[in-house]
Amino acid sequence: MNGDSLIMDLKGVGPKTNELFGKLGLKTVEDLLQFYPRDYDRFEAPVSIAQSKVLDFAAVKGMIVTNPMVKRVRNLQIVSMQIRDEMGDTLKVTWFNMTFLAKTMHPGMHYVFRGRIQGYGAGRQMEQPDYYTLAEYEKLLGKMLPVYNLTKGMTSKMIAKAVQQAMGQGKILEDMLEESMRAEYDLMERNEAIANIHFPDRESDLKNARKRLVFEEFYRFLLGVRQMKAQLANQENHFMITEKEEVDELIQRLPYKLTKAQERTLREIQTDMTGPSVMNRLVQGDVGSGKTIVAFLALYQAALCGYQGVLMAPTEVLARQHYQSLCNLIETYGLMLKPALLTGSMTAAQKRKVYEQTASHQVDIVIGTHALIQENVHYQDLGLVITDEQHRFGVRQREALQNKGYLPHVLVMSATPIPRTLAIILYGDLDISVMDELPANRLPIKNCVVDINYRPNAYEFIRKQLKEGRQAYVICPMVEESETLDAEDVVSYSKKLKEEFPSDIQIAYLHGKMNNQEKDRIMEAFGAGKIQVLVSTTVIEVGIDVPNATVIMIENAERFGLAQLHQLRGRVGRGKYQSYCILVHTSSSKESKKRLEILNHSNDGFYIASEDLKLRGPGEFFGVRQSGELAFRLGDIYTDAELLKLASEAAKKTETVSWNIPVNM
């Protein structure tokens, strides 16, 4: 057995379970082992009944003091009994449909009961607790059991069991880090780290395991960057791209004046495209700085010179939006351009048509998702590839193009504000343009940080904005109601809002688990103003541009990273209207309030990113993660900045970069 073996071949994994693993995107044993826990269930020392708070998950040590009672309520059999702790306080514990407990549990027996406390006063009880003998609990004390992201029908226990099964086969994963390097940077062996991240015995083991795995992620990534640089440095520019006055004419006719930053960036792009070597440039622009039009102008120029161009977006929703904007531009100004859209969810026939059109150069600009560089797509004169909202054009994607014989100009556009020092490490192979200026017609967004008592006022405020014809977003961290997490979810929240708002207000929700057609339909309706309030998860975080939306209300704001909140906030303030961001803070923590205050007082993404880094410091575990744009599994370039530096040092020292390093993005 090795990393490539199939999960299916593990003992105890039947076809059904295997299907569930498939749903989680896990196929091989390596996938499974790299499916790291989202959190840990920590077995803490029991507390007294008086100390346990309502809704808290607690372990209580107690003696059974009443005979178990079985009661039938509708189709449920409820077993309940009283327990008493050492302080003399009592608590009711109940189970559903576990009548056998009435036979096995008797007054005088001692257990540790572990579950959630519900109800107040006389109704206070612990429902469905796990129970352990004192000796059993003693053994578990201090242990951390993994908690995974799940799909319906799957439990963390099932995953843990499969992981254990795989780990029982010995050191099955190869370690790319040489022993000397591990010694130098004090890193665990890979299999050991994997074992410890799934089943840590103590916090320090978890910390060390994580350190090792994050280091490897960064190291791989940075080797990829170096490899790319080696491959691309000074590649000759054989495209005949020249200056075109049609581009300047179009700029003159736009309804707005380009900002200085847009002009400068465009000039840098043009200098690259007409220069001696192939362009390899990153545009870092704060949200709303107007990156899209710069991309369109570059594509237009390439097309005028006879080259095809593609614009690749990370989501279908964003791809469709860009396509629509480009079509509008072409129509409004009568441009001689033929655009096409290509996304994964199109029918085979639709795709085939686009393939034909691209291969025969009937279209000049293709906008889409990753589908743009898949096997069946061929271009005749591909001159420019732009990726939007992705921090980099992954090595694999570039390779995919090169394998087809293309070596186009490459432009990457990102809105993740990264402090300069980090940018140099991460983007060492790219030239960087910074767009640090917002269009002149923008009014700074007005922010506030409030608690839940402010909600009625917020709704009233939103209602007024809607009345003036504007639109609003409400962001919730969760998709559906969760039993274990106390956070707002889009499904229940939109129900609640429908009751709160007059019935003529159209309210809809959006989340990543919906299918693509459904998402498109909702986004289109919102863009067209047919939906006034959009309750959404962070799926709208990147790129979405609906200038008529002026309010964004973010529930459980403390659950998001600052940079992510900044991206979310960037969905408003994109037009001429005054816009507002309402951050609802639902935790009692002063620290998190302080973080939100940074956002409250600044709209500058670069400043926010660097303040965030200062406040959080490296090494915060599984805390709030930053925007998912940098697709590391565990690593976080902000909080793990120190490790990133070490990995960068190590990558520089690595001599041979001749092997292929897959970079997952």
- What are the residues binding Mg ion (CB under 5 A)? 543
One-letter amino acid identity for 199?
A: F
For the CB of residue 389, give the shortest distance to Mg ion in the complex, in Å.
6
Round to whole Å and give the CA distance between 414 and 433: 10
165: three-class secondary structure by DSSP: helix
Closest to ligand ADP by CB, 50 or 254: 254
Query: Can residue 211 be called a binding residue for ligand ADP (CB under 6 A)?
Result: no
Closest to Mg ion by CB, 109 or 631: 631
For the CB of residue 250, give the shortest distance to ligand ADP in the complex, in Å.
13
Query: Can residue 290 be called a binding residue for ligand ADP (CB under 6 A)?
Result: yes
For the CB of residue 335, give the shortest distance to ligand ADP in the complex, in Å.
16
Round to whole Å and give the CA distance between 624 and 602: 20
Q: Looking at 68-76, 257-265, 477-485, 504-512, which segment touches ligand ADP (CB under 6 A)?
A: 257-265
For the CB of residue 281, give the shortest distance to ligand ADP in the complex, in Å.
15
Query: Can residue 256 be called a binding residue for ligand ADP (CB under 6 A)?
Result: yes
Nearest C-alpha neighbor of 569 from the set 618, 602, 521, 617: 602
* Cβ pair 386, 266 in contact under 8 A: no
Closest to ligand ADP by CB, 288 or 368: 288
Query: Can residue 37 be called a binding residue for ligand ADP (CB under 6 A)?
Result: no
Query: Can residue 545 be called a binding residue for ligand ADP (CB under 6 A)?
Result: yes
Which residue's C-beta sits nearest to ligand ADP? 290
Query: Can residue 547 be called a binding residue for ligand ADP (CB under 6 A)?
Result: yes
Picked from Mg ion, ligand ADP, none, the partner binding residue 611 (CB below 5 to 8 A depending on kind) is none
* Cβ pair 642, 452 in contact under 8 A: no
Picked from ligand ADP, Mg ion, none, the partner binding residue 211 (CB below 5 to 8 A depending on kind) is none
Residue 347 pairs in a beta bridge with none
Instruction: Kindly give, in sequence order, each residue whose CB lies less than 8 Å from that of residue 614, ignoring residues fewer than 6 positions away.
Output: none
Selected from 293, 340, 540, 641, the binder of ligand ADP by CB under 6 A is: 293
For the CB of residue 386, give the shortest distance to ligand ADP in the complex, in Å.
12
Could you give the dihedral angle defined by the CA atoms of residues 175, 181, 183 and 187, in that order, rounded to the nearest 10 degrees? -50
* Cβ pair 546, 574 in contact under 8 A: yes
Round to whole Å and give the CA distance between 128 and 513: 30
Query: Can residue 285 be called a binding residue for ligand ADP (CB under 6 A)?
Result: yes
Selected from 17, 284, 289, 579, the binder of ligand ADP by CB under 6 A is: 289
Instruction: Kindly give, in sequence order, each residue whose CB lies less than 8 Å from that of residue 40, ignoring residues fewer than 6 positions away.
Output: 144, 145, 146, 147, 200, 206
Site for ligand ADP in 357-416 (CB under 6 A): 415
Residue with tokens 């939007």: 388
Site for ligand ADP in 452-491 (CB under 6 A): none
Q: Which two tokens stand for residue 97?
A: 């449909």
| Strand ranges inside 65-109, DSSP E | 69-73, 76-84, 90-96
Picked from ligand ADP, Mg ion, none, the partner binding residue 38 (CB below 5 to 8 A depending on kind) is none
CA distances from 319 to 366, 388, 509, 517 (A): 10, 9, 20, 13
Q: Which two tokens stand for residue 294?
A: 């710069």
Considering only the C-alpha atoms of the chain, give the largest distance between any 2 of them, rounded to a whole number of Å. 92
Q: Looking at 253-261, 349-357, 491-499, 561-569, which segment touches ligand ADP (CB under 6 A)?
A: 253-261
Round to whole Å and give the CA distance between 413 and 427: 12
Selected from 259, 471, 626, 627, the binder of ligand ADP by CB under 6 A is: 259
For the CB of residue 358, give the shortest distance to ligand ADP in the complex, in Å.
25
| Site of interaction with ligand ADP (CB under 6 A) | 256-259, 262, 285, 287-293, 415, 439, 441, 545, 547, 574
